[in-house]
A = this chain, B = another copy of it.
Amino acid sequence: MPDKLEDFRTEIAEWIAANLPEELRGQPRNEDTICWGGRKWQFRSQAQKDWLERCHARGLTCPRWPVEYGGGGMSRDEEKILRDEMNRAGAPSPLESFGIWMLGPALLKFGTDAQKAEHLPEITAGRIRWCQGYSEPGAGSDLANVQTRAEDMGDHWLVNGQKIWTSYADKADKIFALVRTDREAPKHLGISFMLIDMETPGVTTRPIRLISGASPFCETFFDNVKVPKEGAIVGEMNRGWDVAKYLLTHEREMIGGGGGGLIAGTTLSEAIGDMDMVAGADPVIRAQAMELEVDTLAFGLTMERYKDIAESGAGVGHASAMLKYYGTELNKRRQEIVMSARGSDALDWSEGLAAPWLRSKANSIEGGTSEVMLDIISKRVLELPSK
């Protein structure tokens, strides 16, 4: 068994060496280098396009998805080796997308064969870019408070309403959204998980400018949008909350677990620079950095341990809320410490430190606030009483 894995390692290393375009090697990971794919995608370079196509052909955009949908059909150990070797080679991720992170896992668990066959190959190939439509204005953490409604018009759904915080909605081809399909049912019921093409007439988007200056999120409006019924709903009708909950848990593990680039690629030492220079004799920054480093290493081990638990079949369950909580708060601490350590240098937008610092403040809000995570832990994991 280990031998087989070692063979796999050799094979992957050789494949990367043979296929990775030299100019992509060791690129910094940022919005200028990430490949998101989709109909509107403009490749940053021929090399980026080549790398995506080669990886897709080898099943490396979605290593653990079934081969029939363009995945790699790998085991967890193989995926880990792949990740190691990619890192070792300084290879960029060939493709990032909400289709890979969110919709794919939902379809693999809840989708019909037809839905899987229709959507998964488009995701693995990077041909369709998805966005997520959960939050609504005024709902905030109360995700089940869905007001966007879909009326049954016989052959189609008529969708009206508004979503907010839809990441990159202005760049996406399609959206998976929570819509209310039964207005009589109690709050958590009567919601369905619906797939909608963003090019359908009546769908418009407006970017939201953030305090960091960037606009990764949008408001998305649905104005008498007609959605053909065929394959529109994932999972059971009116049980979209189940799909959403599953994905929220998945998202928590991903965000807490360093997905989406939360865990910085650089070490704290690299981010801070010469500690003696910046902190001098100041024990405050020094102590904060030491504590952060201890906690960061231990949190990294915790992500490993939780993966081990998940792998063992025991299931992590609601405790995944802990990863989301701790990982995001840790990143906020890190950004504060880096800002502080870099002093007045960091206060100029052009240094590129302030934007990620400000962006990090959203980590503990998006995908379920820290407060919601603590509620989940106390109620579901610790089983503390509600009265």
Contacts and interface: CB of A to CB of B under 8 A. Distances in A.
A2 interface: no
Interface in A269-300: 283-284, 286-288, 290-291
Counting chain A residues whose Cβ lies within 8 A of the other chain, the interface size class is: under 10
A287 B288 CA distance: 9
Contacts of A284: 283, 287, 290-291
A195 B284 CA distance: 53
> How many identical subunits does the complex contain?
2
Contacts of A283: 283-284, 286-287, 290
Contacts of A291: 284
A290 B288 CA distance: 13
A287 B291 CA distance: 12
A287 B284 CA distance: 5
A283 to B, nearest CB: 3
A197 to B, nearest CB: 43
A279 B291 CA distance: 16
Nearest to A288: B287
Interface string A155-185: 0000000000000000000000000000000
A80 to B, nearest CB: 35
Contacts of A288: 287
Contacts of A287: 283-284, 286-288
A24 to B, nearest CB: 40
Interface in A43-76: none
Contacts of A286: 283, 287
Question: Most B CB atoms within 10 A — which of A283, A288, A290?
Answer: A283
A358 B21 CA distance: 64
Nearest to A283: B283
A101 B313 CA distance: 62
Contacts of A290: 283-284
Interface in A9-45: none
Nearest to A286: B283
Nearest to A289: B283
A291 B284 CA distance: 9
A107 to B, nearest CB: 41
Interface of A: 283-284, 286-288, 290-291
The 10 closest A-B pairs by CB, nearest first: A283-B283, A287-B287, A283-B286, A283-B287, A284-B287, A284-B290, A283-B290, A284-B291, A286-B287, A287-B288
11 contacts: A283-B283, A283-B284, A283-B286, A283-B287, A283-B290, A284-B287, A284-B290, A284-B291, A286-B287, A287-B287, A287-B288
